[in-house]
């Protein structure tokens, strides 16, 4: 009797485990999202051609203050190819260190009210809409911080509740495989640090495949001298690995993958 009970317990545990796994479209084993911050020229120069050749769509988080008129048609073309132009705010506000002087007008997070921050996100939405004509997009927190004012008021949930963006990306969390661990306003990521090699990134993809999870990479510079930069060749090696495993992987924009997660959550 005890053996039967134990067997039943393990069977239920296994069935429960299977049910808890995320079902990705077309029975893919994992979702891989490639995101690139700050609208850097190296992303246009190296990343877009590599992605386009591989047939992958990715998300590029642009900030208003960096965009020049000459960049507008370039990013419009990037969007036309199927990539997402994500919202990374207008002024890219960060948390000012106590010793640092705040500029006038002040664009440190401490200087913002909740209303002002949401207004800036809305403004950037309008700007991006003028470029790509899209009405839905995702958001990446500048400097990875989602609080404003000296009181550190969180603007993540209010931003989603106001309907300004569909989802938002955090700067931590790694690979996860439970729907409840993927917060729509703070989705987990793998941060690509300075000079990282493909050999250090590919294990995260393998982990996502094994766990049937999601892996969102956060890149900055590729093949340039920006901070958090990796070599263009290393980026290509990662893309090559994704191509080799195309049958197992759903590689898409942050917006598309998170919209699928949202459906799974029943929202
Ligand atoms: Zn940034």
For 191-230, what is each residue's pLDDT tens digit?
999 999 999 999 999 999 999 999 999 999 999 888 789 9
Whole-number pLDDT of residue 4: 58
**H-type alpha helices, 56-191:** 72-80, 114-132, 156-161
Whole-number pLDDT of residue 102: 67
Q: In terms of Cα–Cα distance, which of 234, 245, 247, 232 is closest to 201?
A: 234
Q: Ligand 1 centre from 137 Cα, in Å?
A: 16
Please tell me the distance from the alpha carbon of residue 267 to that of residue 263, in angstroms, as a whole number.
Answer: 6
List, in order of start, the domains of the chain with CATH numbers: 25-265 (3.20.20.370)
Taking the CA atoms of residue 205, residue 138, residue 261 and residue 179 in that order, the dihedral angle to the nearest 10 degrees is 70
Q: Ligand 1 centre from 36 Cα, in Å?
A: 9
- Asked whether the predicted pLDDT for residue 11 surpasses 70, the reply is no
Q: Ligand 1 centre from 5 Cα, in Å?
A: 54
* Residue pLDDT, tens place only, 69-102: 999 999 999 999 999 999 999 999 999 877 666 6
């Amino acid at each position: 009797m005890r053996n039967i009970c134990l067997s039943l317990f393990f069977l239920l545990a296994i069935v429960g485990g299977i049910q808890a796994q995320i079902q990705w479209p077309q029975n893919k084993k994992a979702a891989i999202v490639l995101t690139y911050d700050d609208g850097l020229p190296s992303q246009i120069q190296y990343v877009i051609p590599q992605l386009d050749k591989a047939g992958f769509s990715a998300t590029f988080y642009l900030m208003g203050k960096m965009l020049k008129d000459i960049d507008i048609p370039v990013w419009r073309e990037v969007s036309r190819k199927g990539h997402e132009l994500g919202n990374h705010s207008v002024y890219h506000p960060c948390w000012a260190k106590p010793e640092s002087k705040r500029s006038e007008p002040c664009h440190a997070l401490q200087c913002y009210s909740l209303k002002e921050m949401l207004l800036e996100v809305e403004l950037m939405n309008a700007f991006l809409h003028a470029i790509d004509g899209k009405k839905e997009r995702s958001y990446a927190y500048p400097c990875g911080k989602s609080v404003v004012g000296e009181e550190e008021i969180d603007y993540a949930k209010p931003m989603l509740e106001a309907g300004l963006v569909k989802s938002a990306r955090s700067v931590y969390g790694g690979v996860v495989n439970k729907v409840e661990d993927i917060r729509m306003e703070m989705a987990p990521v793998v941060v690509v640090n300075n000079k990282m090699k493909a050999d250090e990134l590919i294990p995260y993809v393998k982990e996502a495949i094994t766990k049937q999870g999601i892996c969102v990479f956060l890149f900055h510079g590729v093949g340039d001298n920006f901070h958090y930069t990796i070599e263009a060749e290393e980026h290509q090696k990662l893309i090559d690995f994704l191509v080799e495993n195309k049958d197992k992987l759903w590689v898409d924009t942050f917006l598309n993958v998170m919209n699928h997660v949202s459906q799974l959550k029943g929202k």
